[in-house]
């Protein structure tokens, strides 16, 4: 698992100008063009969205490769956000009342520039502002009043989790923002202290007037690691709104650990009249059956813990006892959070981040993992491939001196890859790629 900032590289012709003793005439470079040489193996996914009742259309966002779309249930993926010149996507949602409309919140590992909207299924995009937020990692759209949009902005990106952030790192525009005109204008409705930002934002599916926001308060500490004084550990605060996000109250949360919660994920179970909530934090997994007033730890499974890298819970849209937890594996509970078992198939990988469940047919699942995006239309019995997504994040790239030369790269959470600069097969395919040992760094 890699928590630091990664760079998505479209591996192409690598020019080592340092090898030349004389200055190079830059005009000679104008005839060169970048070309994708692979490999077609998915990388980390930060946001996913599907279209209810349409098993063919899905979207996913990446921390460094924009937004991608399929119209054939994951056989072919195409980029649809390249013209916007923003690579980092933190949130993605399809309007529940109009599947032609999408919202994208930018900023995840690296800063974004606000929120975008498409009204033609991702063909074109309009910038809606909030450019000062830098890290929008939650967006909600009212299912019956589509002009009501709620956005949660974090104060930092994923790359500085779990350690004190440098001075000047925090975004000044953070908290919860609400629009009542489809994103044309926004007003801030929740902000806490100088560093806290919203990481998780959820609505009661039975009563959309009720929302919950988990504010993440990053750790603090002295700039000098040798200093004797100790900083504070990361924690989270849970807020509740009963008026569609216009005002917020700090949730008492009796039964939850009061300090050092780390990153908290929270969700509301459908079909419980808003009474059942689930929360995951550093100290374990908790359940509330009275709308968050009191909590009990429902399992002692040592695997079911939050982390600074992922802490999100997803509940079956028809059965409140079935829930999924994103962790190093995807864990599923069939008894309301008392017991969990790994729930992954083939392909599988490391570090599961996000899951979309069709609200009308929970057998349709769409997963975002460190190795790409995969979908299932049969409740996880079979999954689509992620060997058709050129979205891998590469930390390093180099070449050898062979002819044709080979390129070498270290991919985030996926080991190493080497691909040739050309192939005798007419195109460079996954069959031309080899692993050369080593890990992401």
Instruction: Find tokens 């966002």 and name the residue.
Output: 61
- Is 16 within the bounds of a domain? no
Residue ending a domain, choose from 376, 403, 431: 376
The predicted structure's pLDDT at residue 96: 96
User: What pLDDT score was predicted for residue 19?
Assistant: 44
State the residue range of the domain holding 302: 47-376
Q: Is there a domain that residue 3 lies in?
A: no
> Does residue 358 sit in the same domain as residue 420?
no
25 assigned to some structural domain = no
Whether residues 237 and 363 share a domain: the answer is yes
In a domain, 389, yes or no: no
Provide the pLDDT for residue 289.
Answer: 96
Q: Are residues 367 and 412 in the same domain?
A: no
Q: Residue 66: helix, strand or coil by DSSP?
A: coil
- Same domain for 369 and 417, yes or no, is no
Residuewise pLDDT in 10s, the chain (441 residues): 433 333 333 333 333 434 444 677 888 888 898 888 887 889 999 999 999 989 999 999 999 999 999 999 999 999 999 999 899 999 999 999 999 999 999 998 888 999 999 999 999 999 999 999 989 999 999 999 999 999 999 877 765 444 545 545 566 788 999 999 999 999 999 988 767 889 899 999 999 999 999 998 888 765 455 555 556 788 889 999 999 999 999 998 899 998 889 889 999 999 999 999 999 999 999 999 999 999 999 999 999 998 888 889 999 999 999 999 998 889 999 999 999 999 886 677 788 999 999 999 999 999 999 999 999 999 999 999 999 999 988 888 999 999 989 999 998 888 888 999 998 888 888 888 888 887 777
Is residue 87 in some structural domain? yes
Whole-number pLDDT of residue 12: 37
Phi-psi region of 387 (alpha: psi -120 to 50; beta: other; left: phi over 0): alpha
Q: Output the six-digit token pair for 382.
A: 């079979």
Give the pTM: 0.88
Residues 428 and 295 in one domain: no
> 369 and 422 share a domain?
no
pLDDT reported for residue 230: 59
Peptide bond into 221 cis (omega under 30): no
CA–CA distance from 132 to each of 135, 172, 222, 422, 435 (Å)?
Answer: 9, 7, 27, 43, 41
Please report the pLDDT score of residue 170 as a whole number. Answer: 63
Domain boundary among 346, 376, 406: 376
- Kindly state whether residues 271 and 356 are assigned to the same domain: yes
Cβ 299 vs Cβ 285: under 8 Å: yes
Cα angle vertex 366, ends 320, 265, to 5°?
Answer: 55
Say yes or no: 208 and 94 in one domain. yes
CATH number (domain holding residue 339) = 2.130.10.10
How many whole angstroms separate alpha carbon 356 and alpha carbon 369? 12
Q: Is 386 a domain residue?
A: no
Say yes or no: 253 and 303 in one domain. yes
Task: For residues 367 and 410, state if they share a domain.
Answer: no
Q: What pLDDT score does 11 carry?
A: 36
Residues 231 and 307 in one domain: yes
Give pLDDT, residue 94.
97
The number of domains in the chain is: 2
Does residue 249 lie within any of the structural domains?
A: yes
- Picking from 348, 376, 404, the residue at the C-terminal end of a domain is 376
Looking at the fold, whether 326 and 408 belong to one and the same domain comes out as: no
pLDDT at residue number 195: 77
Assigned domain for 425 exists: yes
- By three-state DSSP, how is residue 329 classified? coil
pLDDT of residue 253: 87
């Amino acid at each position: 698992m890699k928590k630091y900032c990664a760079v998505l590289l479209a591996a192409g012709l690598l020019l080592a100008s340092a090898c030349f003793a004389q200055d190079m005439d830059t005009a000679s470079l104008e005839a060169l063009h970048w070309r994708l040489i692979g490999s077609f193996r998915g990388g980390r996914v930060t946001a996913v969205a599907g279209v209810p009742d349409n098993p063919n259309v899905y979207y996913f966002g990446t921390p460094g490769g924009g937004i991608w779309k399929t119209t054939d249930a994951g056989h072919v993926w195409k980029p649809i956000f390249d013209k916007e010149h923003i690579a980092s996507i933190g949130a993605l949602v399809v309007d529940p009342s109009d599947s032609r409309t999408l919202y994208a919140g930018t900023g995840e590992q690296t800063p974004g520039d606000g929120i975008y909207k498409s009204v033609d299924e991702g063909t074109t995009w309009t910038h809606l502002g909030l450019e000062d937020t830098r890290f929008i990692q939650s967006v909600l759209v009212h299912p019956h009043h589509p002009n009501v949009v709620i956005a949660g902005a974090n104060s930092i990106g994923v790359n500085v989790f779990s350690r004190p952030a440098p001075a000047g790192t925090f975004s000044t525009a953070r908290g919860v923002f609400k629009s009542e005109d489809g994103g044309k204008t926004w007003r801030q409705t929740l902000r806490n202290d100088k560093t806290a930002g919203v990481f998780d934002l959820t609505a009661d599916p039975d009563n959309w007037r009720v929302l919950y926001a988990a504010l993440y308060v990053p750790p603090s500490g002295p700039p000098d690691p040798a200093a004797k004084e100790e900083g504070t550990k990361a924690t989270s605060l849970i807020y509740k709104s009963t008026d569609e996000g216009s005002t917020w109250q700090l949730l008492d949360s009796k039964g939850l650990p009061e300090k050092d919660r780390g990153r908290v994920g929270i969700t509301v179970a459908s079909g419980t009249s808003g009474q059942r909530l689930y929360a995951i934090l550093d100290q374990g997994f908790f359940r509330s059956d009275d709308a968050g007033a009191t909590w009990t730890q429902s399992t002692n499974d040592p695997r079911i813990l939050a982390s600074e890298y992922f802490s999100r819970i997803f509940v079956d849209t028809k059965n409140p006892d079935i829930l999924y937890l994103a962790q190093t594996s995807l864990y599923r509970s069939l008894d309301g959070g008392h017991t969990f078992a790994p729930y992954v198939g083939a392909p599988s990988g490391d570090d599961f981040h996000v899951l979309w469940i069709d609200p009308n047919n929970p057998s349709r699942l769409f997963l975002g993992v460190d190795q790409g995006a995969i979908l299932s239309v049969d409740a996880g019995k079979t999954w689509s491939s992620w060997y058709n997504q050129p979205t891998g994040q590469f930390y390093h790239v180099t070449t050898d001196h062979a002819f044709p030369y080979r390129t070498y790269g270290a991919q985030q959470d996926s080991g190493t890859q080497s691909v040739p600069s050309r192939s005798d097969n007419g195109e460079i395919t996954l069959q031309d790629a080899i692993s050369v040992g080593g890990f992401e760094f």
